């Protein structure tokens, strides 16, 4: 049995097809005819864009627009004026196209890989995919056609790239196993969109698993069983049927209110990264958007988006939601999430450096332009503002001051906005959790970001395998901070939501009900499952579970107890 990350739920039983990576080795050389080399590079980029457009259309037909946009984003990245001009400069200086492409792509890969959040790190995988594809074209390498895979195939690869996914015939692929990737990687996103069971980060999967070998892929528990016997086949076939039946039953929660067994109502929102994602939120039956990550509007481009560009994006999301809540997080960039055009200095410890609200308050012109754009969009829906990475009351007050300044400017210009727009705080640092009582007097709402809150509280990098065992929202210290945040919010009569991954964890739900959380914000595919899980609990039952949990001393004890209760 092999273990990995449970990335896409379900059970797949089939035969292995290993997608082997071709060697992209080449001999770097100095080019004399630079014009000809530039032309060769431009033709390769043009061919890449043609291929990618075809692949995006294939994905759009099989899974939807959101997934197709992942690939279309690759075209935007390679056509970025800064990236293209730098590659062309290197070629004009005598470097061969392969070396120039690799040097600049590796620069971007290193930059994105340094980020502390998975979504930004995923940009590194995108650039790597682009580099591989264009190098293959330059070197004349023909890629394996995944579309030819027969029924009952389990794809095994180092990484499932978006370009590979474009060739998947959903009916033929029963499972996916990769050596890399996490729950928020594009491999996971695309596997979930295709509803194919997937286990990622299986060490040495490409070497261990052989073509034609029968395996079971358990995407719910994150395990791969090699050469299963008849009893195991029978067991997992039954599990697969039960999983499919459970999915059908989830549909009865569509269109229903999110309510506990004892009658308490909750708001169930979605997290999005682009205005177009609001469509998925609505299709998933989300009751609004609890987190719009605006930094993605600033990525894959060579300059800061203008106020008007941002306004159009926020307005689009607000209109799609048709009056449902839209919480827009202000720019969470800087230090660890570098953008070349911002000219940020390299930091020794970017996780605790110049980023998010800290960066915005020091760059008030950029910050005010975003605030003005959000305020203008508030005339078109129920829009709220949220400040990220807050650690002090001063930061909230300074941010609110800029909001008030922007309101006065818009009023003088006769531009409409919601004069009573709510301004909230993303509670994702230990400092914020400890002074939640003070912040609750300044904020109109809280939203708990459990990903960073866990990392900062436990002083561990979830990407570091040596300390990843510490990274759990079920740690007693993290649970106490979460409970305190919710308590302080409730005592000051402000709504408290959660937009971190823990909001969708069935183990966390009884605790959050007991603590008094009022809003859950999850990924679109998780909406119906979370609604169902909330409906299972009465407040008194949740209180009994929470009382027991808060008396336990270790994460292991808490995890085991909650698993037994679920």
pLDDT attached to residue 300: 66
Our CA angle for 560, 561, 564, nearest 5°, is 85
Helix count and strand count (H, E) for the chain? 22, 17
List the structure tokens of 550. 């808060």
Only one residue has tokens 């001393």, namely: 553
pLDDT, mean of each 10-residue run, the chain (566 residues): 91 92 83 93 93 82 70 86 92 95 90 66 82 91 76 90 72 92 70 86 92 95 95 95 90 96 97 90 95 86 90 97 97 67 72 86 95 98 97 98 98 98 97 98 97 92 79 96 98 95 93 98 92 97 98 97 92
**Longest Cα pair distance anywhere in the chain, in angstroms?**
78
Q: What is the 3-state secondary structure (H, E, C) of 25-86?
A: CCCCCECCCHHHHHHHHHHHHHHHHHHHHHHHHHHHHHCCHHHHHHHHHHHHHHCCHHHHHH
Q: Name 197's Cβ contacts closer than 8 Å, sequence gap at least 6.
A: 8, 9, 10, 11, 12, 174, 175, 176, 191, 217, 218, 219, 220
Q: Name 11's bridge partners.
A: 218
**pLDDT attached to residue 19:** 85
The C-alpha atoms of residue 105 and residue 128 are separated, in whole angstroms, by 7
Nearest 5°: CA angle at 40, between 37 and 44?
140
- For strands 173-178 and 198-200, give the pairing: parallel
Tell me the catalytic residues.
186, 499
What is the structure's pLDDT at 166?
A: 64
The confidence score (pLDDT) of residue 447 equals 98
List, in order, residues 6 or more apart from 46 with CB less than 8 Å away. none
Whole-number pLDDT of residue 246: 87
Element at 450 (helix H, strand E): helix 450-458
pLDDT at 186: 65
pLDDT of residue 119: 62
Verdict on whether the full-model pTM lies above 0.85: no
């Amino acid at each position: 049995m092999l273990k990995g990350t449970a990335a896409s739920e379900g059970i797949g039983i089939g035969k292995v097809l290993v997608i082997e990576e071709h060697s992209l080795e080449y001999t770097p050389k100095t080019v004399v005819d630079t014009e000809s080399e530039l032309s060769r590079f431009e033709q390769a980029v043009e061919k890449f864009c043609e291929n990618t457009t075809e692949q995006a259309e294939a994905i759009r037909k099989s899974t939807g627009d959101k997934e197709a946009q992942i690939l279309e984003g690759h075209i935007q990245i390679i056509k970025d004026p800064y990236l293209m001009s730098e590659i062309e400069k290197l070629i004009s200086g005598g470097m061969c196209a392969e070396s120039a492409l690799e040097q600049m792509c590796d620069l971007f890969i290193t930059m994105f890989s340094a980020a502390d959040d998975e979504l930004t790190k995923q940009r590194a995988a995108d650039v790597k995919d682009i580099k591989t594809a264009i190098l293959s074209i330059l070197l004349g390498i023909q890629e394996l056609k995944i579309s030819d895979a027969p029924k009952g195939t389990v794809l095994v690869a180092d990484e499932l790239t978006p370009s590979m996914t474009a060739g998947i015939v959903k009916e033929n692929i029963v499972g996916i196993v990769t050596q890399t990737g996490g729950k928020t990687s594009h491999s996971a996103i695309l596997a979930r969109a295709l509803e194919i069971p997937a286990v990622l980060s299986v060490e040495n999967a490409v070497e261990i698993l052989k073509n034609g070998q029968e395996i079971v892929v358990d995407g719910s528990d994150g395990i791969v069983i090699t050469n299963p016997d008849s009893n195991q086949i029978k067991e997992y076939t039954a599990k697969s049927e039960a999983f499919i039946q459970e999915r059908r039953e989830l549909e009865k929660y569509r269109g229903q209110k999110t309510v506990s067994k004892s009658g308490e109502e909750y708001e169930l929102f979605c997290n999005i990264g682009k205005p177009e994602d609001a469509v998925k939120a609505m299709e998933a039956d989300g009751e609004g958007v609890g987190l719009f990550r605006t930094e993605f509007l600033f990525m894959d481009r060579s300059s800061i988006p203008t106020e008007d560009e941002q306004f159009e994006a926020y307005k689009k999301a607000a209109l799609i939601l048709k009056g449902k809540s839209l919480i827009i997080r202000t720019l969470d960039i800087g230090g660890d999430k570098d953008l070349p055009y911002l000219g940020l200095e390299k930091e020794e410890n970017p996780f605790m450096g110049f980023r998010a609200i800290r960066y915005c308050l020091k760059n008030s012109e950029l910050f005010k332009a975003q605030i003005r754009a959000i305020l203008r969009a508030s005339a078109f829906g129920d829009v709220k503002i949220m400040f990220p990475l807050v650690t002090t009351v001063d930061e909230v007050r300074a941010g609110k001051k800029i909001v008030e300044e922007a309101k006065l400017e818009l009023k003088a210009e006769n531009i409409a906005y919601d004069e009573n727009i709510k301004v909230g705080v993303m509670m994702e640092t230990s400092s914020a959790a400890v002074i939640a009582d003070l912040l609750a007097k300044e904020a109109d709402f809280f939203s708990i970001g459990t990903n960073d809150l866990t990392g900062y509280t436990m002083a561990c990098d979830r990407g570091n395998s040596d300390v990843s065992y510490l990274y759990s929202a079920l740690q007693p210290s993290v649970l106490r901070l979460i409970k305190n945040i919710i308590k302080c919010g409730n005592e000051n009569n402000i709504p408290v939501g959660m937009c971190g991954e823990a909001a969708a964890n069935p183990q966390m739900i009884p605790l959050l009900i007991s603590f008094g959380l009022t809003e859950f914000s999850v990924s679109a595919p998780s909406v119906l499952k979370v609604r169902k899980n909330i409906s299972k609990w009465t407040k008194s039952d949740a209180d009994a579970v929470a009382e027991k949990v808060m008396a336990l001393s270790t994460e292991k004890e808490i995890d085991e107890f909650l698993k037994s209760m679920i």
